Amino acid sequence: MSKTMFDKIWDKHVITGKTGEPQLMYVDLQLLHEVTSPQAFEGLRENHRKVRRPERNFATMDHNVPTIDIFNIKDAISRKQIETLGKNAKEFGVRLAGMGSEDQGIVHVIGPQLGLSQPGMIIVCGDSHTATHGAFGSIAFGIGTSEVEHVLATQTIWQTKPKTMGIHIHGKLPNGIYAKDIIMGLIAREGVSFGNGYAVEYYGDTIANMSMEERMTICNMSIEGGAKMGSIQPDQTTFEYVKGRKYAPKKIDQAIEYWKQFKTDDISAFDKVIDFDVSELAPFVSWGTNPGMSVPVDKPFPEIKNDDDKKAYEYIGLHPGQTAEQIPIGYVFIGSCTNGRLSDLKIAANILKGRHIAESVTALVVPGSRTVKIQAEKLGLDKIFKDAGCDWREPGCSACLGMNPDQVPNGIHCASTSNRNFEGRQGAGSRTHLASPAMVAEAALCGHFVDIRKEAI
């Protein structure tokens, strides 16, 4: 009987339990950050428990960290959470990429970067965008704080196996179209709940031709389509990416031979298949308050069909029939676990080089990790951003979410490379418009979105 990649990984991790019921699963890697871990560690302390497998856990600070003057944390709750993680990691023997360390960064950037994320694994984190790591041919998903404690104590988790969905992504990407446009276009077409109850696998020639960083962008936003898990079959691109990294297997050839088994036997093994042709895809921009409320840059915003649409238009300050070019951009954010990697910064820098952002725009460029920051500076990207009038910052989640000082002012429209455009996501009253790094960089220059397919890029 044919099996999906998901089936094969799942089956290797079941400890006990019947199919169709909650099963106890072994967890290969748990990633931790300062926001969802304090209560978990306190639970261990209160019950006199230890961390079962400290070497299978890795922590960093990202959500609350300032991106200017990083050790001057003014918010009392943020400071407490960051200090607590440092103390907990030391007390329980968990590896920590602390503030200012060479490995510190957004948890979903440093996992792959350090070689912690590997094919065939089950990876969890107290963060919904853990699906990012599925790009390596793993089962990766977000969990709650009580589950974080359970994994710390037992290195296991109870899960009910979801159904599987194959998403066939094929066709040559047109000029000016990126991985972000693919996932936004898919969610715009299928809706924000199409993946409910499914573990998604992306496959096809478009995916096969992508870099690992592009694949991570696709998997990262699986959650925005309702899927708890999104993954991509490991291949030579995956193996070359992992090879030689800090925590990659020492016997890499042996590891690769093991990883090669994790592939879907046949598309008939999926419970459902969706076809998505990208050969005529356009750049996408979100107009509303969830990622499904997005349109091609050259299309008008849709008519109001329900109360959700009406509420979204009222919050965002737009109306049906307008286009993305009419959105008055006052703020720009380039960063996040979706698009804060070196390749994303290169795309944005290529557009901004030798040009200057509009006077009406404030632009933040925030590397996804300290390693990304150092690499970008070696390439001179920081100078390009600074010369263009952007703020070049220290690594962190930054303006992706309103949990640190980098917040979008009330009522201001922000062109953002992040993953969510919910009400207040980037700060109270903020109006978020999701797009690719190229689209966001061009919007910074013009003060509004433009169709980058018409630009010489």
Domain 285-454 CATH (choose: 1.10.540.10, 3.40.190.10, 1.10.3720.10, 3.30.499.10): 3.30.499.10
Distance CA 452, CA 437 (A): 11
Question: Which residue type is seen at 215?
Answer: R
Q: Structure tokens of 360?
A: 């009406």
Contacts (Cβ under 8 Å, ≥6 apart) of 241: 112, 212
Residue 454 above 90 pLDDT?
no
**What does the pLDDT look like over 310-369, one tens digit per residue?**
999 999 999 999 999 999 999 999 999 999 999 999 999 999 999 999 999 999 999 999
What share of the chain has pLDDT > 70, as a percent? 100
Residue 132 above 60 pLDDT?
yes
Residue 170 above 80 pLDDT?
yes
Looking only at the bridges linking them, the beta strands covering 362-365 and 329-334 are: parallel
Q: What pLDDT does residue 455 have?
A: 74
Contacts (Cβ under 8 Å, ≥6 apart) of 284: 180, 181, 184, 185, 188, 294, 295, 296, 297, 434, 435, 436
Greatest pairwise CA separation for the chain in angstroms: 63
Which ranges of 52-178 does DSSP label H, i.e. alpha helix?
Answer: 76-92, 107-113, 145-154
Task: Compute the average pLDDT of residues 398-416.
Answer: 97
> Which residue's entry shows tokens 């965002």?
316
Q: Are residues 420 and 354 in contact, defined by beta-carbon separation less than 8 angstroms?
A: no
Task: Compute the average pLDDT of residues 288-295.
Answer: 98
In the structure, how many helices (H) and strands (E) does the chain have? 16, 19
Which ranges of 114-178 does DSSP label H, i.e. alpha helix?
Answer: 145-154
**What does the pLDDT look like over 8-23, one tens digit per residue?**
999 999 999 999 999 9
Distance CA 271, CA 377 (A): 46
What share of the chain has pLDDT > 90, as a percent? 99
Residue 456 above 90 pLDDT?
no
Distance CA 455, CA 418 (A): 23
Q: Are residues 30 and 56 in contact, defined by beta-carbon separation less than 8 angstroms?
A: yes
CATH of domain 163-277: 3.40.1060.10
The Cα-based distances of 99 to 20, 258, 413 in angstroms read 43, 35, 31
Task: Compute the average pLDDT of residues 377-388.
Answer: 98
* pTM attached to this predicted model: 0.97
Topology match between the domains 5-159 and 285-454: yes
Q: Are residues 334 and 368 in contact, defined by beta-carbon separation less than 8 angstroms?
A: no
- Protein fold of 5-159: Aconitase; domain 3 (3.30.499)
Sequence ranges of the domains in the chain: 5-159, 163-277, 285-454
Residue 216 above 90 pLDDT?
yes
Q: Structure tokens of 155?
A: 């290195």
Task: Compute the average pLDDT of residues 138-151.
Answer: 98
Task: Compute the average pLDDT of residues 412-436.
Answer: 98
**What does the pLDDT look like over 70-95, one tens digit per residue?**
999 999 999 999 999 999 999 999 99
Question: Which residue type is seen at 70?
Answer: I
**What does the pLDDT look like over 53-65, one tens digit per residue?**
999 999 999 999 9
Which ranges of 2-96 does DSSP label H, i.e. alpha helix?
Answer: 5-13, 38-46, 76-92
Q: What pLDDT does residue 412 have?
A: 98
Q: What pLDDT does residue 457 have?
A: 45
Burial 25-40 (b: 16+ CB within 10 A, else e): bbbbbbbbbbbbbbeb
